[in-house]
Amino acid sequence: MRSLIAKFAGKLHRDRSAVQGRVGIAVQDDVMISEGAPDLSRLTVDVLSRLSCLGVVAASPSLPFAEFLLRRANADAEAIVPLDTETRTFLHDIPIVRRAELAGDPAAAIAALLSNRKGVIAEGVGIVASGPVTLEQAYIHYSSVFHACYVKYLLDVLQDGFLLPGEEDAFRDFRKTSLRPLTSEELFFSASHLDDPEEVLAEIRTVGRYTVQRGLVDSFFGNISYRVGETIFISQTAASLDELAGCIDPVPMDNRSTTGITASSELLAHRRIYEATGARAILHGHPKFAVVMSMLCEEKGCPVKDCWKDCPNVRMLGDTPVVAGEIGAGGLAVRVPPVIGAPGKAIVYGHGVFTIGRDGFEEAFRSMVDVESRCREEYFRRLDARAGRQSKSE
Amino acid sequence: MSLREHILIVDLSSGRMRREEISPEFLGTYLGGRGLGVRLLRGRHTLSPFDPSMPVVFAVGPLCGTPAPTSARISVVSRSPLTGTVYDCSAGGRFAWRLRAAGLLAILVEGRSARPVVLAVTSAGEELLPASDLWAKGVGDTVRALSDRGSVAAIGPAGENGVLFSSIMMGEGNAVGRGGLGAVLGMKNLKAVTVDGDRVMPVADRERFDRARADVLRLFRASPVIFGELGISEYGTPALVDLMRQRRMAPTENFRRTVFVGAGAYSGPTIRAAYGAKKEGCYGCPIRCKKRASDGRPLPEYETVSHFGALNAIADLHSIVRSNDACNDLGMDTITAAATLSAWGEARGRFPSPEEIGTLLHDIAHRRGEGILLSEGSRRVAEALGMPGVSMSVKSLELPAYDPRGAYGMALAYVTSNRGGCHLRAYPISHEILRKPVASDRFSFSGKARMIKIAEDTNAAVDSLVACKFAFFGASIEEYAELLSAVTGEDHTPQGLKEIGERVYLTERFYNAENGFTRADDDLPARFFSEAGSSGEGIDVPPIDRARFGEELTKYYRIRGLRDDGSFPDGGFLERQP
Q: Give the model confidence (pLDDT) of B316-373 as tens digits.
A: 999 999 999 999 999 999 999 999 999 999 999 999 999 999 999 999 999 999 999 9
Render pLDDT for B88-127 as a digit per residue (tens, 0 to 9). 999 999 999 999 999 999 999 999 999 999 999 999 999 9
Render pLDDT for A322-353 as a digit per residue (tens, 0 to 9). 999 999 888 899 999 999 999 999 999 999 99
DSSP H helices in B102-255: 139-145, 157-160, 181-187, 206-221, 224-227, 232-235, 240-246
pLDDT band, very low/low/confident/very high, at A160 (cuts 50, 70, 90)? very high
pLDDT mean across residues, chain B? 96
Q: Taking CB atoms and an 8 Å limit, are A328 and B224 in contact across chains?
A: yes
pLDDT at B289 over 60: yes
pLDDT at A392 over 90: no
DSSP single-letter state for residue B531: S
Q: Are B168 and B76 in contact (CB under 8 A)?
A: yes
Q: What pLDDT does residue B2 have?
A: 53
Rounded (10°) angle between helices A38-48 and A106-114: 50
Q: What pLDDT does residue B200 have?
A: 87
DSSP single-letter state for residue B439: -
Percent of chain A whose predicted confidence (pLDDT) is above 70: 100
pLDDT at B578 over 60: yes
Ramachandran angles phi, psi of B71, nearest 5°: -105, 10
Mean local confidence (pLDDT), A54-60:
97
Which of A89, A135, A247 lies closest to B222 in CB terms?
Answer: A89
Percent of chain B whose predicted confidence (pLDDT) is above 70: 99
Comparing alpha-carbon positions, the chain B residue that sits nearest to A265 is B224
Name, in order, each residue with C-beta under 8 angstroms of B166's C-beta and a sequence gap of 6 or more: B155, B156, B158, B159, B180, B181, B182, B183, B186, B331, B332, B333, B365
Mean local confidence (pLDDT), B150-157:
98
pLDDT at A391 over 80: no
Q: What pLDDT does residue B498 have?
A: 96
Buried b / exposed e over B199-208, threshold 16 CB at 10 Å, is: eebebeeeeb
Q: Taking CB atoms and an 8 Å limit, are B239 and A117 in contact across chains?
A: no
Ramachandran angles phi, psi of A233, nearest 5°: -95, 115
**Omega within 30 of 0 (cis) for the link into B466:** yes
* A97: Cα within 13 Å, side-chain hemisphere: 23
Mean local confidence (pLDDT), B436-463:
96
Q: What pLDDT does residue B1 have?
A: 43
Using a CB-CB distance cutoff of 8 angstroms, which residues of chain B are in contact with residue A330?
218, 221-222
Distance between CA atoms of residues B110 and B10, nearest Å:
6
**Complex ipTM more than 0.90, yes or no:** yes
Q: What pLDDT does residue B26 have?
A: 86
Q: Are B195 and B121 in contact (CB under 8 A)?
A: yes
Q: Are B87 and B179 in contact (CB under 8 A)?
A: yes
Q: Taking CB atoms and an 8 Å limit, are A267 and B228 in contact across chains?
A: yes
Mean local confidence (pLDDT), B73-82:
98
**Amino acid (one-letter) located at B53:** S
pLDDT mean across residues, chain A? 94
pLDDT band, very low/low/confident/very high, at B3 (cuts 50, 70, 90)? low
pLDDT at A386 over 90: no
Pairing relation of β-strands A320-323 and A345-348?
Answer: parallel
3-state helix, strand, coil in chain B (%, to 5): 45, 15, 45
Mean local confidence (pLDDT), B44-70:
97
Best of A30, A89, A143 to substitute, by most chain B Cβ atoms within 10 angstroms, is: A30
Q: Are B406 and B533 in contact (CB under 8 A)?
A: yes
How far is CA A226 from its chain centroid? 22
Which of B227, B241, B439 lies closest to A329 in CB terms?
Answer: B227
Could you tell me where the beta strands, DSSP code E, fall in A37-112?
Answer: 55-61, 79-80, 94-97
Best of A47, A53, A118, A133 to substitute, by most chain B Cβ atoms within 10 angstroms, is: A133
Q: With an 8 Å Cβ cutoff, is A147 touching chain B?
A: no
